Structure 1
Amino acid sequence: SDPYYQHLSDQGDLDDDGTLATAAVGADPMDVVLGDEAASEAEPVAPIEGPTPPAPPLSVDMPPEILEQHFIQDREIEADVIMSYQWRITHWNELDRRVTSPEFECGGHTWRILLFPFGNNHPDCVSTYLELVKEKEASPDWHVCAQFCLFISNTEVPTQFHKNYAQHRFNNDESDWGFTKFIQLREATYAAYPDERPILENGAATITVLLRILKDPTGMLWHNFKGYDSKKETGYVGLNNQGATCYMNSLLQSLFFTNYLRRAVYQIPTEDDQPASSVTLALQRLFYNLQTSDVPVDTTELTRSFGWNTLDSFMQHDVQEFNRVLQDNLEGKMKGTVAEGAIDRLFLGKMTSF
């Protein structure tokens, strides 16, 4: 035999045509695939992936749904509508002290941007606000709850911007809201880095508002309660806080709306009692005032019947312990009257262990 082939045969088996078939040490000979057959059955090699390209920079020209994801806080509050509006400004140095954008519609309301190009009582700043244009025939208690973000950007480079976010309940008393110190003029007219351009360049800039109108099914969202008439709006009034009696007020209102208990309290005889020393009479009078008063009800008479002084009203107490003491007092006064057993029928239960 040929010495060359003999040498190769020492390293592996030869095919009929003299092709060398090799196998890994310890491999099953049946697993050996020869020549072109190996190439045809080999697994395709996955291409080598390069680094993930960076996300495009944020721009004020992006759709409002994209801007919302990055710049609107508390998005769990359901929105009626979201939109963005842009106002391109030129000849900045020739602007009046106070200028407004063209009006635009959003959520069935008319809006505009209010701009003080040289500051609103702050000459070193740009001041800008979002204004809801009042409707002539609107009711005095109208309101619109909105989240918004105001941007000022380079007109030619929309990725170069400054922004501020706010949320507000627009109403008859506060129809505009925004930022007196929105951006310093120096910051707007100078680029922060050599590869950037200033926001306010050659007297031009773009102001963008991203506006999200919110649903307010209760009518109470962000209410400041100035001039609020609880009796008119709900048919009920609340309790004044003496200092730290909010825990007590919440319990008393819960008991007041437990109609069966309220009727039982009214049935307790108190003809010979004095409210300064009778918890029951003081509570009866408080419940009556909650039913008939047009203004929030004071609780001082009730706390005096407890023997509390002013300092006690400014100290937090455990509401569960307070409830227990109050109900023990009422239960004692109910004995021998038509109201006897009312506390047990309402609040007594049995505990079962499993």
Structure 2
Amino acid sequence: MTSTGRVVLIGGASGTLYAGTYVLQRSIAPVHAATGSALTWTVALYVGVTVLQFLLYGLLISLASRGALESGRARALALAFPVLFNAALLAGQPYLSIDVFTYIAHGYQASIGHNPYAHPVKEVAEMPFGRELARLGWIPVHGVSPYGPIWTGIEAAVVRATPNIPAAILSITTIVTLCSLGCALMIWLILGTAAPRSQLMGTLLYLWNPVAIVEFAGEGHNDAFMMFFMLLSLFLWFRAREGMSIVATACAALVKVVGVMLVPLELVYAWRTHRDRRQLVGQLLIGAAIAAVIAVLVVAPVWIGWNTFDGLRAHSRPSILASTPGVVYWYLTRTHSEQASALLISTMMTGLFIGAVAMASLRV
């Protein structure tokens, strides 16, 4: 079979599995969930379909690693199929996560004059708008917003511009999906400069990743918006536009604060590779000044003093979740107080991050 035929076969099978995944997600969602053995079998089938999806992903990447997709129709199809998967999932509704509903609730708060950083979003549950969100699957459990003011502005703009909740859901997921595809473009451009031989495979690793497709196009998580600015920042560093890179990083952080995590590596890279360090410092200062102006402009309308960061502080506290830090935190709470466990896990994760930055910096 030709490479083109293999891509068509993998793409067709993947598309079928994404359709099956969506149906199964709907069956698992609390508003539609079956009970007892029916739910058990549905979850088991969902896991099986997900495993098959990743196997197909691995087959596609294997083709790319062997150079079978470097040119022609096979390459074009390999880049086009995941775009189609993203577009198809936009026609559905999020079922695995309540985040999109919470974004819309934040936007509704802003549209009626309630500051999302001062009023817990679960207050919306007592309003007709909140009851409609709950009917669609929202679970009102969150407090004040932990997100940055750029994202809060988008939430508000979407709710003001759309006539109903389904239209708002589509608007949010479309914005997120476009940002996710923008991330793929940034990866393509970055690798074109940093590692041309890996340009196609690196881009396909992201584009075909089932996690990225489902979490962004399917569930509408705003991480893609932040990631786009982070990757744009990297791209600008490679183009020696350090000042504008700082601005892009600030935009990422004004969506979600973890957007600043690449800054240490970028600074080390610039310091070691830039020939004129005085010029570098000047560009960084100009970029920082522009970033500060943007931050003031977007933060000022929602500023309520240091209480503006209450949601961020609450969100940063460790909790028992299905994640590595969550599992470690759960284990620590068996022998330590919650406060001590939180301090230990925070210290551990900070140490790991600093160590990773130090190790990566040595390779620059």
Q: TM-score, normalised by structure 2?
A: 0.18
User: Which structure is higher in strand share?
Assistant: 1
Higher relative contact order (CA 8 A, sep 6+): 2
Q: Based on CA coordinates, which of the two structures has the bigger radius of gyration? A: 1
User: Which structure is higher in helix share?
Assistant: 2
Q: TM-score, normalised by structure 1?
A: 0.18
